[in-house]
Amino acid sequence: MGWFSGKQLPTTSYGYTPPPGATASGWVCYNDGCGTGDMPAPKRWPMQCPLCGGPADPEFDQPWRDESEGPRLRALIAHDGDAYGIYTGSLYGWQFGQALRKSVPAARQAVTEALAWRQRFNAAKGVERDDPRSLMFWYAWNNGHVALAGELLGGLLSELDYEAVDYTDIDESWASSKRGTYLGIVNMATTLLETPEARALPQAPAIDRAARYIGSATQHAMGVAPVKYQWQELMRRPELR
């Protein structure tokens, strides 16, 4: 018995009401400056955070963990304005995931909306936000949508002049976002092209070409990361045409 016996979990501090039957295996505290949490979930809600004394929230099991992420991001955006678009970018990523549960066309629509937001945001702030298709790629890939993953990566690459990039200043520091961007692309491309299904996609030759080019230009920064071995594997295979 206990928390799974049909007891309704409470509405969270960020305004998400879990449906009847939702379960939690821990608790988490989102109060300003606290951010702690632990397992297991308490037998009774509401619960007070032992560290700050504020109200703690359930740490939901899936699928409610995913479901609650959108309301949590919206609350963060309302609370702090999100001047850098960090949470808004994540919210678009979340909406893509929720849409993909319904259908691939719905997910494509979410991609279009995310890219339109990014374009508006970049123009208004004079910045260059990360391409949301990287996150979406992994979500699609991890859920078995190989063709959609290929579409996302192919789309990202088609708008990226990767041959014009200076890769010499990329080092092994994980803090560098340039490193993250380009090694991230090599990682996506080599992961995708390991499967025969992906190698038959219309975007495969362009993805293969980009992985070879960017991988060759960034190998000095790969260290012993798994991406290095995946890239070496790819280089041993014949080029896709």
Size of the site for Zn ion (CB under 5 A): 6
Determine, following the binding rule CB under 5 A, whether residue 86 of this chain makes contact with Zn ion. Answer: no
CB nearer to Zn ion: give 52 or 225. 52
Determine, following the binding rule CB under 5 A, whether residue 51 of this chain makes contact with Zn ion. Answer: yes
β-strand partners of 26: 59
Q: Are 213 and 235 in contact (CB under 8 A)?
A: no
C-alpha–C-alpha distance, residues 151 and 157, integer Å? 10
CB nearer to Zn ion: give 54 or 180. 54
C-alpha–C-alpha distance, residues 108 and 238, integer Å? 31
Minimal distance, residue 78 CB to Zn ion, in Å:
20
Minimal distance, residue 46 CB to Zn ion, in Å:
13
CB nearer to Zn ion: give 31 or 195. 31
Minimal distance, residue 52 CB to Zn ion, in Å:
3
C-alpha–C-alpha distance, residues 36 and 211, integer Å? 40
Minimal distance, residue 47 CB to Zn ion, in Å:
10
CB nearer to Zn ion: give 29 or 110. 29
Name the segment binding Zn ion (CB under 5 A); options: 5-13, 50-58, 133-141, 174-182: 50-58
Task: Please name the residue that has the structure tokens 């998400």.
Answer: 16
CA 203, chain centre distance (Å): 21
Task: Please name the residue that has the structure tokens 């992994």.
Answer: 138
Residue length of the chain: 241
10-49 binders of Zn ion (CB under 5 A):
29, 31, 34, 49
Render the burial of 1-36: b for 16+ CB within 10 Å, e for the rest. Answer: eebeeeeebbebbbebebeeebbbebbbbbbeeeee
CB nearer to Zn ion: give 49 or 221. 49
- Return residues touching Zn ion (CB under 5 A): 29, 31, 34, 49, 51-52
